[in-house]
Structures are given as structure tokens and as C-alpha cells.
Amino acid sequence: MGFIDAIKERAKADKKVIVLPESMDRRTWEAAEKVLAEDIAELVILGTPEQVQENSQGLNISKAKVIDPNTSDKLQEYIDTFVELRKAKGMTPEQAKELLTTDYMFYACMMVKMGDADGVVSGACHSTANTLRPSLQIVKTAPGTKLVSAFFVIVVPNCEYGAEGTFIFGDSGLNQNPNAEELAAIAASSADSFQLLVEKEPIVAMLSHSTKGSASHADVDKVVEATRIAKEENPNLKLDGEFQLDAAIVPSVGESKAPGSEIAGHANVLIFPDLDAGNIGYKLAQRLAKAEAYGPITQGIASPVNDLSRGCSAEDIVGVVAITAVQAQAKGSK
């Protein structure tokens, strides 16, 4: 069974309520039809009657719960709670109402905050900032979180590397230029996410254009320091660096470039030095290797709120909904 099929089966075993706030995008409705047909999750879709009629024509979404934030019976309760959450920032009831009824991501996050939903998937037609800002303001970070970050699950067909072609690429969606401490935190969170979603032991490589001192530069120094911090803070985690990509995943190259490292050549969690590298890396794998790419999936938020690439397909949305449901299951079991 492939990665996403296994995730779907896990999602079906304990169905969660996932909110889709982008009713203005046809892909949302196409994905919703598939999610409901496969019984992966219970869905709430936010939109006006006009948005529903215009974008869902010809699709069977009868099992979805459709809510118009403008006429919702929960609106006043959400306004009051939102004002309380943001009173230190000067939030007024009028501003809260405006945000909740015009930017559905705020309403979706209030549903999660109030226990009316388990997770949110958005981003098909909104930027990462517009997707994650409401979640950080309303849902907040998980206890003990050092840094909210994002990753992609990459599944490469007919691939002998990683976990039978499955990898986590982090951070590939959120943090622009993390420092050494932040890179170490991203590595630890990404390892936990790999364990949860792939259900195999994470083997983490800290990536660079250098392998074990083959190049000298401040950018390399950052990865070396991040590796040191990550090892110190997570002594039981299989993690090493700095590695070039081939040394991280190809056994013969790992043995040649980093002899003595049990991680070299065997990594399944790849930590990129900055967002440029992470974004370019995942899109190369997706477009040239025909990999499935699910994300950006967030880690470190109190409840799962996940982003999408604006170039996503309806099938991509289905996959992220299933992943979000599994994350929500894990939150409930803690």
C-alpha cells in the first residue's frame, strides 16, 4: 500500500471534521467530492450560497456541511471570543466581524479553536502568509513549541532511496532563512512528523553544499552548528550532517564522502538550509521525478492547520485533508 493510501485508511478509522474555507475555488469542491466518496473525513465548507452554486455545479457534495459565515448562528460567539483573544492588539467587535465574514480562514480557525472542527486545509488560492497568519493568531502554537515550521511529504515513484521513496523535506514552506537553533528545531519537529505519518524510524540529514567540511563558508558553518545543537538536544535521534544531497541519500556516495556516518546514504528526512533550497528542492522532485508532493504541512500549531501549494490539484487537496485528519487523531491521543 502506498503512502497516501495508508494515510487515507488511518483517517477513515477515526474520522475527523476538517474545514475547507476556499469555496471560491473549483478544486476545493472537486476534492470535497472525492473525500466524501472515500469517507476520509467529515467536511465543513465555508461559503455564500452564490459561491456554492457557482463552483460546485455537477458535483455530489451533499454529505458536506456548508456554512455561510455571514449567517451562521455561531458568528456572535466567535466574534466575542476573537475579540477576547486579540484584545491586547486592540481588536474591536466590528473588526472581528469583518475578518470572520470576509476572510473565511479566520472563521475556519475559530471553528477549530472552539472545538467545532479538528483541522483546516487552505491555500489553493491564498498565500502561505494569508493561510497561516489566522492560525497563529487564533489557534496558537502547541505547548513546548520552539518554532512553527512546514514540510512536504515527497513520494518518489520507483525509488530505492529514503523510506521506499518517501521523504520529508523541511522547511520547504515557511521559514525564510532559519538560524542554527531554528534549523535544529525544524529537524526535531520533522523527525516527529515522519514518525507519525510514515510510521518508520526517521533518519535525518542536515543538508548543505558541503559534506563534512568539504567546503568552507558561513552558510556551511550554520548547518554544522545546527547539527551540533540538534544532536545535543535529541541524543536518541538518528541525525547527522553536514551533507550534500547525494551523500545523504545514496549509500555508495555516503560511504565515500562521509565514511563512519551511519546516517550518510540512508536519510529519509531532509533538512534544507533555507527556504530557497527547500522550495526549489521539492519542486524539482515533483516536476522532474514525477513525485507526489503533499504540503506544505505545518508542525508546531496547537491543532493542524495546513497550507496548500497554489499549483495544487484536487487530488493533492484530498491527500492533505487525509494527512490533516491523521495529525488531528494524534493530537487527540496525547
Query: What digits encode the pLDDT tens for the residues 6-19?
Result: 999 999 999 999 99
pLDDT at 130: 80
pLDDT at 53: 86
Using only C-alpha atoms, the chain has a radius of gyration, in whole angstroms, of: 20
List the Cα angle 52/117/49 in 5-degree steps. Answer: 15
Residue 7 makes CB contacts below 8 A (sequence gap 6+) with 197, 319, 322, 323, 326
pLDDT surpassing 80 at residue 201 = yes
pLDDT at 334: 44
* Band (93; pLDDT cuts 50, 70, 90): very high
Nearest to 265, CA basis, from 189, 160, 186:
160
Of the two residues 130 and 91, the one the predictor is more confident about is: 91
Residues 141-162 have a mean pLDDT of: 91
Helix or strand holding residue 42 (H, E): strand 42-46
Query: Across the chain, which distance is largest between two alpha carbons, in Å?
Result: 65
pLDDT at 90: 87
Phi first, then psi: what are they for 125, rounded to 5°?
-135, 20
Ranges 71-75, 279-283, 313-317: which has the least confidence: 313-317
CA–CA distance, 148 with 129 (Å, rounded to integer): 13
pLDDT at 127: 77
pLDDT at 281: 95
pLDDT surpassing 90 at residue 131 = no
Torsion of CA 114, 118, 124, 128, to 10 degrees: 70
The rounded mean pLDDT for the chain is 92
pLDDT surpassing 80 at residue 61 = yes
Residue 45 makes CB contacts below 8 A (sequence gap 6+) with 19, 20, 21, 23, 28, 29, 32, 52, 61, 64, 65, 66, 67
Nearest to 131, CA basis, from 332, 324, 328:
324
pLDDT at 59: 87
pLDDT at 18: 97
Find where cell 544532536 sits.
231
Residues 196-210 have a mean pLDDT of: 96
Residues 151-175 have a mean pLDDT of: 93
pLDDT at 212: 92
Per-residue pLDDT of 244-259, as tens digits, reads 999 999 999 999 999 9
Residues 278/272, Cβ–Cβ less than 8 Å:
yes
Per-range mean pLDDT, top range of 127-136, 213-222, 265-274? 265-274
Ranges 68-72, 223-227, 292-296: which has the least confidence: 292-296
Residue 194 makes CB contacts below 8 A (sequence gap 6+) with 163, 168, 200, 202, 268, 269
| C-alpha grid cell, residue 334 | 496525547
pLDDT surpassing 60 at residue 135 = yes
* Band (309; pLDDT cuts 50, 70, 90): confident
Residues 227-233 have a mean pLDDT of: 96
Residues 40/16, Cβ–Cβ less than 8 Å:
no
Residues in the chain: 334
CA–CA distance, 186 with 169 (Å, rounded to integer): 10
Sheet containing 17-20, strands listed edge to edge, beginning at the edge strand earlier in sequence? 65-67, 42-46, 17-20, 119-121, 305-306
Torsion of CA 231, 271, 184, 241, to 10 degrees: 40
pLDDT at 332: 63
pLDDT surpassing 90 at residue 174 = no
pLDDT surpassing 80 at residue 282 = yes
Q: Is the bond into 242 cis (omega within 30 degrees of 0)? A: yes
Residues 100-126 have a mean pLDDT of: 92
CA–CA distance, 326 with 334 (Å, rounded to integer): 13
- Percent of the chain whose predicted confidence (pLDDT) is above 90: 73
Residues paired with 238 in a beta bridge: 203
CA–CA distance, 89 with 250 (Å, rounded to integer): 50
Handedness of CA 265, 269, 274, 279 (dihedral sign): positive
pLDDT surpassing 70 at residue 83 = yes
pLDDT surpassing 60 at residue 231 = yes
